[in-house]
């Protein structure tokens, strides 16, 4: 007979745990991790478990993935995103993934590289030597333009860009409420928060509807993702307009936010690590000789790619991954009942000294050595298993091409010695943006 073990955890009431998580989520996760690799937390409405070992993560995301659905935060995202690839489950998810997967084949993604570099050069042309710029806003506008062109075949002008950035900030700001026991009631009340949210939803729907209309008017014959969504078929059936809207909005928001945040932190990390910055510049100068990068240059830019990997290790845009157990599960000898919430955290895994020597040090060269001894799921910036982010190859290519195109011409200096405060919403943003000084190389 298998014995059951009750895992350790903090002696906090359900509401006290919720308050601690909402106030300082990263610090709270670190506090929990001190109890061990399996930690039980009491939260309103269910039992919750933090699993903080790569083997346990593998079981949840890969080996036993059918025993889990997405967690409360992503379920709440259905308010905005509907039944999209990110939020749907089971047969609906599998069908949508089969329809969308061909749009992210390697050859198609590689064809986007030139467009990515063109938009990076356009952004770099706007800056002046010594000018202070908000790099979070700059990277968000840049990645929005890239996504609009490569995935939607349309121009994300300043009006659309400002609408999407404002809407995304407002939306992310309300998602710390999803663990509240009153959340389902709150979304039905005409509160100021929900009135603002409805305006956000209306603004985003208008932008996406405009893009869909433009594609339809052009015949939807192009190779961009939106045209492919409109033409997608499986067994003779395509997507409804509502499904196209849900997928387009999800890819539009997710396709720019995570890369923008990754690049934002990359510039700050480089500014605080001048030796790594100098090595990056040396590789770009030697490989490019002053010209813009192309897809053919990637094999000769290993350090540039290592900078991206190290940045998303230290500042993973998606810092926590939630799952809800739909069947009983065992983590080692600990029973996790159906209905329980399970949390795995890239933030914790990526800073764990068991897998990363000197985990707080920004050291891109660690990615240039053989990492076979490191457990596979010690690094999960894009999740893992059958629900790994479908846009991972696109995001990695985009981050590398944008970094290379900009860093060959510019570096950015931190205007103060203050470490930016981290705002852990769905993504890991610098609170209040990231002002830095553009320095022409």
pLDDT, tens digit (0-9, with 9 covering 90-100), for 21-63: 888 999 999 999 999 999 998 877 788 999 999 999 999 999 9
Q: Is the pLDDT of residue 251 over 70?
A: yes
Given pLDDT bands bounded at 50, 70 and 90, which one contains residue 219? confident
What's residue 21's pLDDT? 84
Given pLDDT bands bounded at 50, 70 and 90, which one contains residue 246? confident
Q: Is the pLDDT of residue 186 over 70?
A: no
CB 304 within 8 A of CB 404: yes
CB 26 within 8 A of CB 346: no
What's residue 1's pLDDT? 46
CA distances from 305 to 143, 280, 364 (A): 18, 10, 9
User: 171 or 251: whose pLDDT is higher?
Assistant: 251
Phi and psi for 41 in degrees, rounded to 5? -130, 140
What's residue 275's pLDDT? 97
265-275 mean pLDDT: 97
359-382 mean pLDDT: 90
Compute and round to an integer the Cα radius of gyration of the chain: 22
Q: Can you give the pTM of this predicted structure?
A: 0.89
Q: Is the pLDDT of residue 90 over 50?
A: yes
User: 421 or 237: whose pLDDT is higher?
Assistant: 421
- What is the spatial distance between Cα 424 and Cα 184, in angstroms, rounded to a whole number? 22
Given pLDDT bands bounded at 50, 70 and 90, which one contains residue 229? confident
pLDDT over 70, % of the chain: 91
Tokens of 109: 């993604």
Among the listed ranges 34-38, 153-157, 291-295, 346-350, which one has the minimum average pLDDT value? Answer: 153-157
Highest mean pLDDT among 112-116, 157-161, 370-374: 112-116
Q: Is the pLDDT of residue 182 over 50?
A: no
What's residue 337's pLDDT? 94
Helix axes 241-271, 392-407, angle to 10 degrees: 40
- What is the spatial distance between Cα 123 and Cα 35, in angstroms, rounded to a whole number? 46
392-415 mean pLDDT: 95
Among the listed ranges 288-292, 312-316, 320-324, 369-373, which one has the minimum average pLDDT value? Answer: 369-373
Given pLDDT bands bounded at 50, 70 and 90, which one contains residue 20? confident
What's residue 188's pLDDT? 62
What's residue 81's pLDDT? 77
Going across the sheet that includes 321-325, the strands are 38-43, 46-51, 341-344, 321-325, 68-70
Contacts of 213 by beta carbon, 8 Å cutoff, 6+ apart: none
What's residue 134's pLDDT? 96
Phi and psi for 143 in degrees, rounded to 5? -70, -30
CB 132 within 8 A of CB 415: yes
Given pLDDT bands bounded at 50, 70 and 90, which one contains residue 236? low
């Amino acid at each position: 007979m298998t014995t059951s073990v009750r895992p350790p955890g903090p002696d906090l009431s359900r509401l006290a745990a919720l308050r601690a998580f909402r106030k300082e989520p990263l610090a709270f996760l670190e506090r929990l991790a001190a109890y061990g690799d399996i930690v039980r937390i009491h939260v309103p409405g269910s039992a919750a478990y933090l699993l903080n070992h790569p083997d346990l993560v593998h079981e949840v995301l890969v080996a036993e993935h059918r025993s889990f659905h997405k967690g409360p935060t992503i379920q709440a995202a259905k308010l905005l995103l509907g039944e999209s690839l990110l939020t749907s489950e089971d047969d609906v998810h599998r069908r949508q993934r089969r329809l969308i997967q061909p749009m992210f084949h390697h050859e198609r993604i590689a064809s986007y590289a030139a467009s990515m570099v063109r938009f990076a050069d356009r952004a770099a042309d706007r800056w002046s030597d010594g000018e202070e710029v908000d790099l979070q806003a700059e990277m968000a506008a840049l990645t929005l333009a890239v996504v609009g062109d490569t995935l939607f075949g349309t121009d994300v002008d300043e009006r659309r860009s400002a609408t999407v950035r404002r809407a995304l900030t407002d939306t992310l700001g309300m998602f710390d409420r999803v663990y509240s026991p009153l959340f389902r009631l709150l979304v039905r009340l005409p509160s100021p928060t929900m009135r603002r949210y409805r305006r956000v939803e209306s603004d985003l729907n208008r932008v996406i509807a405009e893009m869909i209309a433009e594609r339809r008017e052009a015949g939807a014959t192009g190779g961009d993702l939106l045209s492919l969504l409109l033409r997608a078929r499986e067994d003779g059936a395509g997507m409804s307009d509502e499904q196209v809207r849900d997928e387009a909005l999800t890819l539009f928001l997710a396709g720019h936010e995570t890369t923008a945040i990754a690049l934002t932190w990359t510039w700050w990390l480089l500014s605080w690590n001048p030796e790594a910055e100098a090595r990056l510049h040396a590789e770009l100068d030697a490989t490019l000789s002053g010209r813009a990068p192309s897809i053919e240059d990637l094999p000769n830019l290993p350090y540039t790619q290592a900078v991206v990997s190290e940045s998303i290790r230290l500042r993973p845009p998606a810092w926590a991954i939630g799952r809800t157990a739909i069947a009983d599960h065992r983590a080692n000898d600990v029973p996790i009942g159906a209905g329980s919430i399970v949390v795995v955290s890239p933030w914790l895994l990526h800073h764990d000294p068991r897998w990363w020597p000197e985990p707080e040090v920004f050291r891109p060269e660690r990615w240039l050595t053989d990492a076979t001894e490191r457990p596979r799921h010690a690094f999960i910036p894009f999740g893992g298993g059958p629900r790994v982010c479908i846009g991972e190859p696109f995001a990695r290519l985009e981050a590398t091409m944008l970094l290379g195109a900009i860093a060959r011409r510019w570096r950015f200096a931190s205007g103060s010695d203050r470490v930016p405060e981290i705002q852990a919403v769905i993504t890991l943003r610098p609170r209040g943006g990231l002002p830095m000084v553009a320095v022409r190389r």
